[in-house]
Amino acid sequence: METAGALKSLPLHLRKSLPLKNELVCLSRPQIAFFSHNRMSISPLIQMVFVNGTESNQPICTGVRFSVICGWWHSSMERLVGAEGNAETNIEEITVEKASSSLSLTKRIADPVVYKLVRVEGDGRLVPATDDELMEVENLLEDDKGELPFVEEHRYPKGCISSDGFSSEKAGLESSEDMPGLSQTENMEVDARKLHARLEYIGEMLQKVKQEEKLRLSSESPDSSSNCMNVDRPSPDKHNQSPIRHDKPHAENPLLESDSLQLPKLNDPDTTQVASAEMCPELRGSVFGESSASDTPTTRKPDFFTIKGEICLDNLSIRELHETFRATFGRETSVKDKLWLKRRIAMGLTNSCDVSTASFIIKDKTLIRKKEKEVVSGLENSNTADGSLSRDEIVGATSDDHRDQITRLTEKSEDRQVLSGKRLRTSQTEYDAKNEVEADMKGEYLHMQQTGAKRVRKPTRRYIEELSEVETRECSGRSVSSFKNSDHGQPSLKSWARPVGTGSVDLAGTSVFTRQDSLEGPGFQIPHVSRVRRGRPRENFLPLMTYHSSGMTEKFAEKVVGVHASRQDGESGSNMRALTEQILQPTSTEAEKESLPGVTHTVEQQQDLEPEKLESSQDNSDENLTSVPTSKSGTRRKHHRAWTLGEVMKLVDGVSRYGAGRWSEIKRLAFASYTYRTSVDLKDKWRNLLRASLSQAPATDQGMKSSRKHASIPIPADILVRVRELAETQSQVAPERSSCKWAGHSKSVHESRSGYL
DNA sequence: CTTAGGG
DNA sequence: CCCTAAG
């Protein structure tokens, strides 16, 4: 249902939505598109689908399947996916024999291509990408936007990409620059015009939205909402074949869409108010003030829309931002993060990825940087007078340098403070840490010189103890909020309104949260949907989580469980850890639920190489349950994944080939296809195997191998034997490593050592 | 980041 | 599996 709707309503001009322009060659013919991107972090499940939005509501989806090959993005491009309006129906797959077949398709597809990011489910259904996925892609693309030339809307089928046509080599990427196409200037002019048109359009949209909101606030008349969005845009670019036009018919009734779409209620006043109130207190005024001043809803121009062509995103409420977003990109968003929205819109409007600023006033397609004007003047000046965008800005130098520069120089602006605050803070802490380390090292060095002893492994400090330390430090000190934000670039997160500990943690729930409140104040936040903006998706936001729960967990543990004192005691540690997990559990679950409505978000990547038939079934079965590599949802414990026989054999094989201890190599070479087995896992498993083989050594060839109660995989004796043999071999080859290792288990280390010496 | 080891 | 210390 939703899927179909989303697909149908696809007049989405998503091209603006994704800063793909640098990386994505988007042709009028749908068959050519590629991701010339040297990144691999996007889940292979994310695919680009080009949709030709015809007025007849019969979109034709043409998809390019992207896959990760050798860690590079590579469009395998062997097929198009055609879809009738209803995405529920099975999608017939049309194999395309490269360039020639395009003709038939092109006939039907004359309109500009718009595209939408979707996932293709296992059964072939197209599911609109979640905003998370979108963000993922965006973040990716933002990262190295500078690497590629701006290639846009070539008219040539030349780009028809064979799977090896654009290898992942950078040389391949650069070649895109040489692609025949529009001259850059021409291209940009066109683009500028489009932008202009869009801008005006958006202005009016916003007006309408405002009016509508007022109407809605004053009288809950339902028909007003349906009317008000009928925008009669005086298209200013009649001479221009702007794609906007094609968006128009669909954009006429966005409200209807918004109701039917999967997106969370835009109309929910609670959402809006809460969000605006909590995230940007300074904006409350605009929200409320506007509602009170709603007497002439007909023609009065909203405050924020001061001059034609100038939009101040800063003053917009979430809802308005949503509308703006939709007007800009032609699609909905459920993201409630204002900063994000503003950035995205700004990106779309300025056609630039460089919206590092935090003040979003868009004028004439350029971002007005409030306080940075002087500083970045060079950059600003590079914008040509006619509003076309300078290449520098688009393809600009390394974005990070740039950004940092800006950031450092402008720490005054209120808004920006968060952003720069983060940066400064990190660098500060880094600095501190470095110093500390240095001091540490010095101390240790001295110590070593004095004693001349070997470096001794410090007694492991369990993490739970560290947490308690953190807490005490926190109690005495301060700077809680800063820490909280330290890992997400976005200052304003969704605040966690509802109590987390609903179900399972009832006991703890109350005391826990009151306590937390007393520590942190009401702004207790949990980074449940937070995105790590840069870098690969991380799985360890555990530090964050544990941080949040640190205070409570420990106290709770002490009080309720009665584990007392003796932090060194292992049991206490594990208990608390269990508690931690228990408490954290509902949180992440909730988070998942919230941001992935209805879609089975299988994070597990679909392997190109099917691991092995032995475990393939098993893989599929618990694929959904397994780990949580997504950047959000955090790290729950990895779902225990039983080692299959095949894996064990592979491991043994790997050890025999590369030697025990070369876990990373084994992982790389033998376990490349098993994403879920880390080198550490291998090591652990080997250890266990070793142990098993030892314990069974005396009584080998018995049938007892399977008699283990919960041995998920009864390791065949022969394998164990082989393990033992291997172990011995290894020990001979590399004695110090393995001999001590397993000799130490049964015998005293001393003994084995002497034997070796 | 990788390895080793303890839990 | 998870976590940490040590290279």
Question: What is the three-state SS of A526-543?
Answer: CCCCCCCCCCCCCCCCHH
CA of A248 to C1' of B7 (A): 62
Give φ, ψ of A55 to 5 degrees.
-75, -20
Distance separating alpha carbons of residues A597 and A576, to the nearest angstrom: 32
CA of A147 to C1' of C3 (A): 39
Q: Would you state the pLDDT for residue A680?
A: 92
> In the block, which residue shows the tokens 């976005």?
A490
Cβ of A735 < 7 Å from strand B? no
Nearest nucleotide, CA A745 to C1': B5
Q: Decide: A18 and A134 in contact? Cβ < 8 Å.
A: yes
> In the block, which residue shows the tokens 């869009």?
A198
CA of A347 to C1' of B2 (A): 40
Q: Would you state the pLDDT for residue A725?
A: 79
Nearest residue for B7, CA–C1': A570
CA of A57 to C1' of C7 (A): 62
Q: Decide: A343 and A296 in contact? Cβ < 8 Å.
A: no
CA of A667 to C1' of B2 (A): 12
CA of A25 to C1' of C2 (A): 44
Give φ, ψ of A672 to 5 degrees.
-60, -30
CA of A2 to C1' of B7 (A): 48
Q: Would you state the pLDDT for residue A334?
A: 74
Give the pairing of strands A93-95 and A79-81.
antiparallel
Give φ, ψ of A48 to 5 degrees.
-95, 135
Nearest nucleotide, CA A458 to C1': C5
Nearest residue for B5, CA–C1': A741
Distance of CA A498 to the CA centre of its chain: 24
Cβ of A688 < 7 Å from strand B? no
User: Does the CA dihedral A306-A308-A310-A314 come out positive or negative?
Assistant: positive
Distance separating alpha carbons of residues A713 and A643, to the nearest angstrom: 7
Question: Of all helices (H) and strands (E), which one includes residue A363?
Answer: strand A361-363
> In the block, which residue shows the tokens 């688009």?
A394
The 10 Å Cβ neighbour count of residue A573 is 18
CA of A678 to C1' of C4 (A): 17
Report which of A475, A564, A476 is spatially closest to residue A516, judged by C-alpha positions.
Answer: A475
Q: Decide: A639 and A621 in contact? Cβ < 8 Å.
A: no
Residue A362 burial class via C-beta count within 10 angstroms: exposed 0-12, middle 13-18, buried 19 and up:
buried
CA of A524 to C1' of B7 (A): 32
User: Which parts of chain A sit beneath pLDDT 70?
Assistant: 1-313, 315, 321, 325, 328, 333, 335, 341, 344-636, 697-713, 731-757
> In the block, which residue shows the tokens 């300074």?
A282
Residue A510 tokens read as 């109350």
Q: Would you state the pLDDT for residue A205?
A: 54
- Within A 628-667, residues with CB less than 7 Å from strand B: 660-665
- Identify the DSSP state of A558: I
Cβ of A296 < 7 Å from strand B? no
Distance of CA A705 to the CA centre of its chain: 44
Report which of A157, A117, A118, A102 is spatially closest to residue A20, judged by C-alpha positions.
Answer: A117
- Within A 461-500, residues with CB less than 7 Å from strand B: 462
Nearest residue for C4, CA–C1': A460
Helices (H), A62-146: 98-108, 131-143
CA of A638 to C1' of C2 (A): 9
Q: Decide: A532 and A541 in contact? Cβ < 8 Å.
A: yes
CA of A661 to C1' of B5 (A): 13
Q: What is the 3-state secondary structure (H, E, C) of A418-457?
A: HHHHHHHHHHHHHHHHHHHHHHHHHHHHHHHHHHCCCCCC
Nearest residue for B2, CA–C1': A664
**Cβ-based neighbours of A348, under 8 Å, separated by 6 or more:** A16, A17, A198, A328, A329
Q: Decide: A604 and A638 in contact? Cβ < 8 Å.
A: no
**A62 beta partners:** A50
> In the block, which residue shows the tokens 């408490």?
A583
- Identify the DSSP state of A367: E
Distance separating alpha carbons of residues A177 and A358, to the nearest angstrom: 32
Nearest nucleotide, CA A665 to C1': B2
Question: Of all helices (H) and strands (E), which one includes residue A62?
Answer: strand A60-64
3-state DSSP assignment of residue A595: helix
Q: Decide: A637 and A654 in contact? Cβ < 8 Å.
A: no
Report which of A26, A69, A31, A63 is spatially closest to residue A47, judged by C-alpha positions.
Answer: A63
Distance separating alpha carbons of residues A458 and A41, to the nearest angstrom: 36
Positions of strand C less than 7 angstroms from a protein CB: 1-7
Report which of A516, A543, A507 is spatially closest to residue A527, judged by C-alpha positions.
Answer: A543
3-state DSSP assignment of residue A274: helix
Cβ of A741 < 7 Å from strand B? yes
**Residue type (1 letter), A379:** L
Cβ of A749 < 7 Å from strand B? no
Cβ of A460 < 7 Å from strand B? yes
CA of A661 to C1' of B4 (A): 9
Nearest nucleotide, CA A658 to C1': B3
CA of A249 to C1' of C1 (A): 55
CA of A659 to C1' of B5 (A): 18
Q: Decide: A395 and A174 in contact? Cβ < 8 Å.
A: no
CA of A451 to C1' of C2 (A): 34
Q: Decide: A396 and A146 in contact? Cβ < 8 Å.
A: yes
3-state DSSP assignment of residue A67: strand
Predicted TM-score of the model (pTM)? 0.30
Nearest residue for C7, CA–C1': A455
Nearest nucleotide, CA A463 to C1': C3
Residues engaging strand C (CB under 7 angstroms): A 454-458, 460-463, 466, 542, 627, 635, 637-641, 676, 680-681, 684
CA of A404 to C1' of C4 (A): 33
**Cβ-based neighbours of A284, under 8 Å, separated by 6 or more:** A276, A277
Nearest residue for C5, CA–C1': A457
Q: At what angle do helices A542-556 and A463-476 cross, to 10 degrees?
A: 80
Q: Would you state the pLDDT for residue A684?
A: 92
Q: What would you report as the CA-atom Rg of chain A, rounded to the nearest whole angstrom?
A: 29
Nearest residue for B6, CA–C1': A460
Distance separating alpha carbons of residues A196 and A20, to the nearest angstrom: 20
Nearest residue for C2, CA–C1': A637
CA of A663 to C1' of B3 (A): 8
**A93 beta partners:** A81
Q: What share of chain A is helix, strand, coil (3-state, %, to 5)?
A: 50, 5, 40
Nearest nucleotide, CA A539 to C1': C2
Give the pairing of strands A66-69 and A93-95.
unpaired
Give φ, ψ of A46 to 5 degrees.
-80, 130
Residue A643 tokens read as 């080692």
Cβ of A536 < 7 Å from strand B? no
Cβ of A683 < 7 Å from strand B? yes
Residue A426 tokens read as 């990190």
CA of A677 to C1' of C1 (A): 11
CA of A538 to C1' of C1 (A): 18
3-state DSSP assignment of residue A50: strand
Cβ of A602 < 7 Å from strand B? no
> In the block, which residue shows the tokens 């954290």?
A584
Report which of A269, A224, A217, A241 is spatially closest to residue A110, judged by C-alpha positions.
Answer: A241
Q: Would you state the pLDDT for residue A457?
A: 52
Distance separating alpha carbons of residues A527 and A513, to the nearest angstrom: 16
Nearest nucleotide, CA A677 to C1': C1
Instruction: Please state the length of chain A.
Output: 757
Nearest nucleotide, CA A662 to C1': B3
CA of A660 to C1' of C7 (A): 18
Distance separating alpha carbons of residues A317 and A79, to the nearest angstrom: 43
Q: Would you state the pLDDT for residue A497?
A: 30
Q: Decide: A235 and A204 in contact? Cβ < 8 Å.
A: no
The 10 Å Cβ neighbour count of residue A180 is 8
First-last CA distance in chain A: 73
Helices (H), A67-183: 98-108, 131-143, 170-175
Q: What is the 3-state secondary structure (H, E, C) of A691-705?
A: HHHHHHCCCCCCHHH
Q: Decide: A252 and A230 in contact? Cβ < 8 Å.
A: yes
Residue A100 tokens read as 């020639």
CA of A554 to C1' of C4 (A): 20
- Identify the DSSP state of A659: -
Q: Decide: A484 and A527 in contact? Cβ < 8 Å.
A: yes
CA of A637 to C1' of B6 (A): 19
Positions of strand B less than 7 angstroms from a protein CB: 1-7
Nearest nucleotide, CA A580 to C1': C2
